[in-house]
């Protein structure tokens, strides 16, 4: 059998896994790998990011849009440490990635050699699996394991650290996909008794509520979840990461759950007599004070990761299973019902929220533009068909609240880690993944500046990303908390910003600044119709608060409207 270099074995492994697009940034320890990528550029397109953190975020967004495993390559030392935030972010949001990092030669390990860091040790607590490869002959097997582990069961990030000597040594290459791994059983068997118990609770409930989490999208279970909802007539709310699982204009949708979610879905959680949690982990942002959560409800939890069951909220029926399979078993056993009186309670609270919050946020007469206004306009003009990427903070919450999502996986946001700087790289990854629908970024001026260098990637790859900066010249969400809880002591939240339109023009990107409300809709129309990347800098109210709001330490039914 002909021998190939370890670096070539890495590339051929990627090809065997069907990877035709990867993201990364070269450096000394991975030059041999980049040389092989050059030799195979007709098979693998490499996106040159401008920062390693951004490269991982781009790979994450690409994975979420395509349904494939995202791949990122970085060098050793600072390259790997720069990638750590992206690794933690993707793993917390259960996105399948394989992150390949370089490492010094195995003879230099532990000597504090130039650009040596303990990537294996650093990544192990924040990744699904990490491994170090020091021999070329181990590359094929380790790569096959990496892809299988990343995508199976509850997906996550696999970090592969490869020493430089392994890349430049010859080896025979045999690749076997989806290996059988002892002690790793990602797909548990269905407990039929648990299914039957869940069906009985659902059929007898008077005020049931379904909580839809990100696991629905991960399991590609949107259709069966919708079938369950429509057969049972049960109102459902969605977590931030669960948004887009079902269109949020569905008649049984009662809005987003959690700290800045809809008033009705949070207040009435403590009136429900049954909570059916599907593919979600009962994050603190959803539950509020745990000992005051779901106080009248029995709980059914359908979840593939056993460690999440009974971790935060005790369950009455636990279904540890692939949720698409579990719900397919459950649907024939539940009765077709309606819950009109229960739904009417949600409708009353929604009307209250609309009058006191939504109308003010999206149809404002205030002197300064409110952040919800451009989101609402763009939602209507794109008919909910765009892929929306957000940064973290107020921009994230108004985008989640006021964009009317119609398609699965059309919201890319940082849920678990809450990573500022995520939005622009995510928009890059989404635009690389597809060219059929517009990619809209909603970001704050603070978060945008954390990875603004990715405008270089946008122009190099000719990506028509539409960037909307909701510019209030402050760190908006931190300032909101300082206003509400720290006596308006605005410590280090004021920003002196660059001229973002001039900055964009330096990259060859068209832009426009909007300060007057009468210019807002024409500017948005111009941006959406423009053939290429576009930056819209919208000056918004720095005193705006994202409401409703569940204060830290409060119960969900203590949510404040104003």
- Annotated catalytic sites, by residue? 52, 114-115, 164, 477
Per-position b or e across 101-116, b if 16+ CB within 10 A of its CB: bbbbbeeeeeeeeebb
Residue 296 structure tokens? 């009248």
Count the alpha carbons within 13 Å of 409 in the hemisphere toward its beta carbon: 24
Burial of 536 (0-12, 13-18, 19+ CB in 10 A): buried
Indicate the Cα dihedral angle 504, 453, 31, 84, nearest 10°.
Answer: -160
> Would you say 510 and 534 are in contact if contact means Cβ atoms under 8 Å apart?
yes
> Would you say 540 and 371 are in contact if contact means Cβ atoms under 8 Å apart?
yes
Looking only at Cα atoms, what is the longest distance across the chain?
74
Q: How far apart (Å, rounded) are the C-alpha atoms in residues 485 and 479?
A: 10
> Would you say 431 and 465 are in contact if contact means Cβ atoms under 8 Å apart?
yes
Residue 126 structure tokens? 């924040």
Q: How far apart (Å, rounded) are the C-alpha atoms in residues 454 and 473?
A: 21
CB atoms within 10 A of CB 190: 17
> Would you say 451 and 421 are in contact if contact means Cβ atoms under 8 Å apart?
yes
Cα–Cα distances in angstroms (integers) from residue 367 to residues 173, 518, 539, in the given order: 67, 11, 11
SS3 sequence of 193-234: HHHHHHHHHHHHCCCEEEEECHHHHHCCCHHHHHHHHHHHCC
Residue 384 structure tokens? 């909910």
Contacts of 76 by beta carbon, 8 Å cutoff, 6+ apart: 27, 28, 29, 30, 101, 102, 103, 104, 115, 116, 117, 119
Rounded to 5°, angle at Cα 170 from 39 and 43? 25
Q: How far apart (Å, rounded) are the C-alpha atoms in residues 119 and 129?
A: 12
Helices (H) then strands (E): counts for the chain = 23, 20
H or E element at residue 132: strand 129-133
- Grouping H, G, I as helix, E, B as strand and the rest as coil, residue 189 is coil
């Amino acid at each position: 059998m002909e021998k190939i270099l370890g670096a070539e074995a890495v590339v051929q492994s990627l090809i065997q896994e069907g990877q035709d697009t990867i993201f990364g940034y070269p450096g000394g320890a991975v030059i041999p790998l980049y040389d092989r990528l050059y030799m195979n550029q007709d098979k693998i397109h490499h996106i040159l990011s401008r920062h390693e953190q951004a490269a991982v975020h781009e790979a994450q967004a690409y994975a979420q849009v395509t349904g494939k495993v995202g791949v990122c390559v970085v060098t050793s030392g600072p390259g790997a440490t720069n990638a750590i935030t992206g690794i933690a972010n993707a793993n917390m949001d259960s996105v399948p990635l394989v992150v390949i990092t370089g490492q010094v030669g195995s003879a230099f390990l532990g000597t504090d050699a130039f650009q040596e860091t303990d990537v294996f040790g650093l990544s192990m607590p924040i990744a699904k699996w990490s491994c170090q490869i020091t021999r070329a002959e181990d590359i094929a097997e380790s790569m096959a394991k990496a892809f299988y582990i990343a995508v199976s069961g509850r997906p996550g990030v696999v970090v592969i650290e490869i020493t430089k000597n392994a890349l430049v040594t010859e080896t025979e290459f045999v690749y076997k996909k989806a290996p059988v791994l002892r002690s790793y059983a990602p797909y548990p068997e269905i407990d039929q008794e648990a299914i039957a118990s869940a069906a009985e609770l659902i059929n007898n409930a008077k005020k049931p509520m379904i909580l839809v989490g990100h696991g629905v999208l991960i399991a590609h279970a949107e259709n069966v979840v919708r079938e369950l909802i429509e057969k049972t007539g049960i109102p459902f709310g969605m977590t931030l990461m669960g948004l887009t699982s079902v269109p949020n204009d569905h008649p049984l949708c009662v809005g987003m759950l959690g700290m800045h979610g809809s008033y009705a879905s949070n207040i009435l959680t403590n009136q429900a007599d049954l909570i059916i949690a599907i593919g979600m982990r009962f994050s603190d942002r959803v539950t509020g004070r745990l000992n005051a959560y779901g106080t009248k409800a029995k709980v059914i939890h359908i979840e593939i990761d056993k460690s999440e069951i009974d971790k935060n909220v005790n369950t009455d029926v636990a279904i540890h299973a692939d949720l698409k399979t579990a719900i397919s078993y459950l649907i024939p056993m539940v009765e077709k019902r309606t819950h009109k009186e229960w739904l009417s309670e949600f409708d009353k609270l929604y009307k209250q929220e609309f009058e006191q919050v939504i109308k003010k946020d999206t149809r404002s007469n205030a002197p300064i533009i409110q952040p919800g206004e451009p989101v609402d306009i763009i939602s209507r003009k794109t008919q909910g068909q765009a892929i929306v990427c957000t940064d973290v903070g107020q921009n994230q919450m108004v985008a989640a609240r006021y964009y009317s999502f119609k398609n699965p996986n059309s919201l890319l946001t940082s849920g678990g880690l809450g990573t500022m700087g995520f939005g622009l790289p995510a928009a890059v990854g989404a635009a690389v993944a597809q060219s059929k629908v517009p990619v809209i970024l909603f970001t704050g001026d603070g978060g945008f500046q954390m990875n603004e260098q990715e405008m270089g990637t946008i122009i190099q790859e000719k990506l028509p990303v539409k960037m909307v900066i909701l510019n209030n010249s402050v760190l908006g969400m931190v300032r909101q908390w300082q206003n509400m809880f720290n006596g308006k002591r605005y410590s280090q939240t004021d920003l002196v910003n660059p001229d973002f339109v001039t900055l964009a023009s330096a990259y060859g990107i068209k832009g426009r600044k909007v300060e007057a409300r009468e210019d807002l809709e024409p500017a948005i129309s111009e941006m959406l119709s423009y053939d290429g990347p576009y930056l819209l800098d919208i000056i918004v109210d720095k005193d705006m608060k994202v409401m409703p709001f569940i204060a830290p330490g409060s119960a969900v039914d203590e949510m404040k409207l104003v």
